[in-house]
Amino acid sequence: MFANEEDILKQAEKWKHEGREVAIATVVETWGSAPRPVGSHLVIDGEGNFLGSVSGGCVEGAVVTEALEVIDEGSPRMLEFGVADETAWKVGLSCGGRIRVYLEPLD
Amino acid sequence: MKLDILAAMNAERAARRACVLVSDLDSGEQRLVVEAALGEDPLAPLLLAQLRSGKSGMVESGGRRLFLTVQAPPIRLVITGAVHISQAMVPMARQLGLDAVIIDPRTAFATPERFPNVRLVPEWPDEALPRIGLDRYTAFVALTHDPKIDDPALSAALRSDCFYIGALGSRKTHARRVERLTEAGFTPADIGRIHAPIGLSIGAVSPAEIALAILAEVVASLRQGDGA
């Protein structure tokens, strides 16, 4: 079964209680055709395990990498992905949309 | 996010209560506004409008960029009658993200063969409903035509905050139902909450078409009504 938003946030709480470091990514804005709606979550633990999605799989890798930094630094950051991005050919949304993702540590 | 905020959000969801997480994206500050406190919050109009839309989103308030994470309980569809229309309705409800429950004490109707992969309660509504609980995130649909089964369930629905109440039956059947509910002490305003004839008027004939008409009416109440 696919994880719904509910399972994702419960998992984040469970991970934290198990003593893992956790970061939560939330889609806060979208423009054009974006694969996941505003409010979608991706949760990441300190080992890079993740649950949920913020895109159709296009940028999750980059979000996970940034999440590990956010966990280290302990402060939130805003990420933006889209075809206008310089890194479009590396990490971007092939659908042509643009998304902004708020990434925060769970503390 | 603080762990206690996340734990509170998860607890509200488990209790089927709405809440809105307000995140100031510039300062990183966050606070959780639970359903009971929404009306008195300084941002009440913004929060309530966002909750009504059922979606999370960005708003501006006092020059600050706020992200509102809306958490509304899953919408439940409680049906009396393990009948042909409900068989058609269950997969459609699933597609719409509605959490269906079927109640029917007639065990010949309420069988897992007829209703696979859905919560099936082969009991009388008066026994089953208090346990299931009807709240403002619940739509109730009476489909048996049988007053013995539908009436007690309708009474429970009328005493609850269900955002939608519908009952199957011809105008004649409904007129008799109105008489019975009036005798039971319900006011015309109470009884007026019941959608009957049930469903949007699309000339539905087959069970699947009737199911579609009913679910369309449920969605209209959810998204356009004053309900959840």
pLDDT digits (tens, 9 = 90+) for B70-122: 998 889 999 999 999 999 999 999 989 899 999 999 999 999 999 998 999 99
Query: What is the residue whose two structure tokens read 């009957």?
Result: B196
Report chain B's mean pLDDT, rounded to a whole number: 93
Per-residue pLDDT of chain A (107 residues; tens, 9 = 90+): 355 777 899 999 999 999 999 999 999 998 877 778 899 999 999 999 999 988 877 788 899 999 999 999 999 999 998 754 555 455 556 666 788 999 999 99
Q: Is A16 on the interface with B (CB under 8 A)?
A: yes
Where do the H-state alpha helices sit in chain A?
A: 5-17, 60-73
Distance, CA of B19 to CA of B71 (rounded, Å): 5
Distance (Å) from the C-alpha of residue B15 to the closest C-alpha of chain A? 13
Chain A residue closest to B16 (CA)?
A: A6
Q: Is A73 on the interface with B (CB under 8 A)?
A: no
ipTM of the complex: 0.81
Q: Is A28 on the interface with B (CB under 8 A)?
A: yes
Phi, psi of A31 (to 5 degrees): -130, 145
Asked if B20 and B69 touch (Cβ cutoff 8 Å), the reply is: yes
Q: Do B28 and A76 touch (CB under 8 A)?
A: yes
Q: Do A37 and B23 touch (CB under 8 A)?
A: no
Taking one residue from A and the other from B, the number of pairs with CB-CB distance under 8 angstroms is: 50
Asked if A68 and A84 touch (Cβ cutoff 8 Å), the reply is: no
pLDDT at B196: 94
- Kindly list the residues from chain B whose CB atom is less than 8 angstroms away from the CB atom of residue A106: 1-3, 6
Nearest to A25 by CA among A1, B51, A62, A2: A62
- DSSP SS3 for B97: coil
Question: Token pair for residue B222?
Answer: 């959810």
pLDDT at B45: 93
Q: Which residue range is the domain that position A44 belongs to?
A: 5-106
pLDDT at A98: 83
pLDDT at A92: 57
- DSSP SS3 for B173: helix
Predicted confidence band at B16 (pLDDT cuts at 50, 70, 90)? confident
Domains of chain B: 3-71 (no CATH), 76-224 (3.40.50.720)
Distance (Å) from the C-alpha of residue B21 to the closest C-alpha of chain A? 11
- pLDDT of B223 above 70: yes
Nearest to A59 by CA among A91, A21, A94: A91
- DSSP SS3 for B58: strand
- pLDDT of B226 above 70: no
Using beta carbons and an 8 Å cutoff, which residues of B are at the interface with A?
Answer: 1-3, 6-7, 9-10, 13, 23, 25, 28, 55-58, 67, 69-70, 74
Predicted confidence band at B227 (pLDDT cuts at 50, 70, 90)? very low
State the average pLDDT over residues B192-199.
96
pLDDT at A95: 61
pLDDT at B224: 80
Q: What is the DSSP letter of A104?
A: E
Distance (Å) from the C-alpha of residue A86 to the closest C-alpha of chain B? 24
The fraction of chain B above a pLDDT of 70, given in percent, is 99
* Total tally of structural domains belonging to chain A: 1
State the average pLDDT over residues B181-206.
96
Distance, CA of B50 to CA of A52 (rounded, Å): 23
Rounded to an integer, what is the distance from CA B220 to the centroid of its chain? 12
- AA identity, residue B164: Y
Distance, CA of A59 to CA of A85 (rounded, Å): 12
pLDDT at A67: 96
Chain A residue closest to B21 (CA)?
A: A39
CA distances B26 to A17, A76, B63, Å, are 28, 10, 11
- pLDDT of B169 above 60: yes
